Structure 1
């Protein structure tokens, strides 16, 4: 349960609530107004109309300023506090940096569990809901192996492949579920126990949707862009030609992510989607180590992680205290770094630092084992100290 919401979070929630999760309307409003507080004032109605926002959004802003509207909104805030362990907006330092490059990024994330892990390196494992026993075993095995190596397994909490991937990641306390509903609803309902197990094992369950949002069909492609956006690469473990996981693969390709597909028997309908992806350019893999190699990540992620030496308490403390040994002036730079890599000009522009100062800061992080340079790009590392 969340005890407090910042003013920025409340304003973001208010706009998100009024525009009913419309990304286009939200970002039009954000671009037009100096701040979200101004956009919610009654006198902003004219500007909303001039922005050609949907008439329902304009009507909802009018209602928002009535006594009934304010009562409903306060009830929503209480609902959010009761159902969430954390709320993250783009203005918060813990917002996942890997989502920032995308114009359709979620302006707000509601979550339960450990918010710190959203910044950790993730690999998505997706596939058909109606999966075969073989497909579920492969998804579990790949998730177990990759999570043992230190990666967080990201998936959509659906039946079938998603479910098996989460179960494999749970064994090493490393899995993240992205939902297509509000946090107060579990879909499918039979995965309620799995969802709770993810939270109990220091994972996270997140969504961009407000409480009471139902599992409507159009919500799942939206959820899939977050699954792929958070991840370094996408593994399609098993998919028919009609599988929704092919949408995730397409979204990931549009985002510039590597797509991996696990092949199967040529006569198996369960694998026709994977075979189609391979024909279209996805990387064929039959062992999870191949995904690590193709992602060309820092070498410390290749070494075997001894999960027995890191019980759940130690892992939680390590995640939550990861910045304690970094000087305050280096924390913004470390948080900006990711596992894909950024050149020095990108970092200088984002952090508004001159090249000389930035070079010195990067050198300090490199000497501390928290950063390394690969092919001219700077990537985040974990200290081995």
Structure 2
């Protein structure tokens, strides 16, 4: 039976919330450990600092994957679920260049622009998928493989819903506020006049975040929402520089460390909480053995992994909470 004392690292208010939020009927803590889903509360060092600064941050997040990416600079991408070839092309182009500058790409794991942004990001960087359901209900189902690839490349799957929570219509606006809340800015690519992507943009505006919109074909209704955003003050994006110029200081300060961070994060994602042989880590991370051994030593010094007979184990991060 799940009891509040199983989560003694939480405040009394957070414990009461959890116990009243269906968790009393589930062996939830053991389930999270078994499935490597980590509970990140407002008091945890890994809780996204940008999201914490919003007016209604979730009390807790369920996170599977690399916790380190949660506080790296993020740009959100949202848009049509049925994009044109132009929309896909623009998204891939912008994402590729933003990843080169060290940004993590955040989106909602939906069809269309969301999926395009995630796929482009994992080619050379990392991405965060914020879900409108629990981790047992990857939605849409066809994105189960995409979700796995996000984890394998050092990204993260984030949800404010318990693992068994099925997708509901009212979940997705809540997901949208997390997408925009975690990000420095939100890029909208091909959104119709009544698109759900505009909800994400509105959340970003309400929190004082940047909103970027890509113009499209004036004869195609799929671009009407973007044109409306531009008319109302969103920044028009004609090239990646239009986004990057808003974050010049941030890029300058982080560019020296980003390659090392990316390699370390991908490597950490290749280490299980059970014993993982070094050759398996090398194969998963697609890194040569000599670099793997050096990087593993760095991660061990940082306390993120431990050496055990037969390989390495990732250290559980629940104890890192304040």
Which residue of the partner structure matches residue 158 of structure 1? 110
- What SS does the aligned partner of 1:206 have? strand
| Structure 1: distance between partners of 2:40 and 2:156 | 13
| Structure 1: distance between partners of 2:203 and 2:299 | 33
Please state if 1:124 is matched with 2:73.
Answer: no
- What SS does the aligned partner of 2:9 have? helix
For 2:179, which of 227, 231, 238 is the aligned residue?
227
Please say if residues 261 and 275 of structure 1, whose CA atoms lie closer than 8 Å, have aligned partners that are also in contact: yes
Q: 1:155 to 1:323 in 2, by over 3 A?
A: farther
Which residue of the partner structure matches residue 77 of structure 1? 29
| Structure 2: distance between partners of 1:127 and 1:187 | 17
Please say if residues 7 and 15 of structure 2, whose CA atoms lie closer than 8 Å, have aligned partners that are also in contact: no
For 2:246, which of 294, 300, 303 is the aligned residue?
294
Please say if residues 69 and 155 of structure 2, whose CA atoms lie closer than 8 Å, have aligned partners that are also in contact: yes
Which residue of the partner structure matches residue 148 of structure 2? 196
Which residue of the partner structure matches residue 228 of structure 2? 276
Which residue of the partner structure matches residue 280 of structure 2? none
| Structure 2: distance between partners of 1:13 and 1:183 | 21
Which residue of the partner structure matches residue 9 of structure 2? 8
Please state if 1:247 is matched with 2:199.
Answer: yes
Which ranges in structure 2 are unaligned for 5 or more consecutive residues?
1-5, 269-294, 303-322
Which residue of the partner structure matches residue 341 of structure 1? none
- What SS does the aligned partner of 1:86 have? strand
- What SS does the aligned partner of 2:246 have? helix
* Post-superposition offset of 1:98: 1.4
| Structure 1: distance between partners of 2:265 and 2:204 | 33
For 2:56, which of 99, 104, 116 is the aligned residue?
104
Please say if residues 149 and 305 of structure 1, whose CA atoms lie closer than 8 Å, have aligned partners that are also in contact: no
The TM-score with structure 2 as length reference comes to: 0.75
| Structure 2: distance between partners of 1:184 and 1:87 | 15
Cα offsets for 1:338-363 (capped at 9, x unmatched): xxxxxxxxxxxxxxxxxxxxxxxxxx
Please state if 1:87 is matched with 2:39.
Answer: yes
> How well do the aligned residues superpose, as a CA RMSD in angstroms?
2.9
Note the 1:1-385 alignment, pairs <5 A: 6-9=7-10, 14-20=15-21, 70=24, 72-73=25-26, 75-300=27-252, 312=263, 316=267
Please say if residues 285 and 291 of structure 1, whose CA atoms lie closer than 8 Å, have aligned partners that are also in contact: yes
* Post-superposition offset of 1:82: 3.1
Q: Which moved more, 1:91-100 or 1:115-124?
A: 91-100
Q: 1:9 to 1:95 in 2, by over 3 A?
A: same
* Post-superposition offset of 1:296: 4.0
Q: 1:104 to 1:322 in 2, by over 3 A?
A: farther
- What SS does the aligned partner of 1:125 have? strand
The TM-score with structure 1 as length reference comes to: 0.64
* Post-superposition offset of 1:220: 0.6
- What SS does the aligned partner of 2:249 have? coil
| Structure 1: distance between partners of 2:124 and 2:89 | 16
- What SS does the aligned partner of 2:118 have? helix
Which residue of the partner structure matches residue 345 of structure 1? none
Please say if residues 292 and 302 of structure 1, whose CA atoms lie closer than 8 Å, have aligned partners that are also in contact: no
| Structure 1: distance between partners of 2:41 and 2:184 | 21
| Structure 2: distance between partners of 1:208 and 1:310 | 26
Bigger Cα Rg: 1
Please say if residues 91 and 116 of structure 2, whose CA atoms lie closer than 8 Å, have aligned partners that are also in contact: yes
| Structure 1: distance between partners of 2:79 and 2:254 | 25
| Structure 1: distance between partners of 2:151 and 2:121 | 12
Q: 1:176 to 1:299 in 2, by over 3 A?
A: closer
Please say if residues 154 and 265 of structure 2, whose CA atoms lie closer than 8 Å, have aligned partners that are also in contact: no
Query: How many equivalent residue pairs?
Result: 270
